[in-house]
Amino acid sequence: MTTMIELTAFKKKKGKGRVFFSRQELRQLLDVYSRRVASGEWRDYAIDHYGNVAVFSVFRHSFDAPLFAVAKSGNGKDCEYAVFDGRQRIKRGRTMPDVLKVFDKPLRLVSVL
């Protein structure tokens, strides 16, 4: 026999306290990701949600452990962002652009033949 579930009650209970990346944050993450894919450094990404933490992980190969992970924790205006290299936190900040600066590279000279 089937059981009826009221979706509004399910959404309120399930979604409470969960953290997600906003559209602007995803655009910033994918901008960094696309530059690194174009240079051949990264090949895959994953987005995971663990209760009150959202994680954007990048991979060199699909079956490897993540090279880096950008985590967003908290809710609303009280969010904190962190970049991890494995289990080591390498950067922490209050805004996404602050933590993404860790991926900025200095310009390098490319010779054209």
- Measured between alpha carbons, how far is 64 from 58 in angstroms, rounded to an integer? 10
Q: Mean pLDDT in each 10-residue stretch from start to end of the chain (113 residues)?
A: 63 65 95 92 92 93 89 84 93 94 75 68
Q: Which residues contact 50 (CB under 8 A, 6 or more apart)?
A: none
Whole-structure pTM value: 0.77
CB 99 within 8 A of CB 81: yes
CB 52 within 8 A of CB 19: yes
Question: How high is the pLDDT of residue 54?
Answer: 94
Question: How high is the pLDDT of residue 74?
Answer: 85
Locate 95 and state its tokens.
Answer: 């805004």
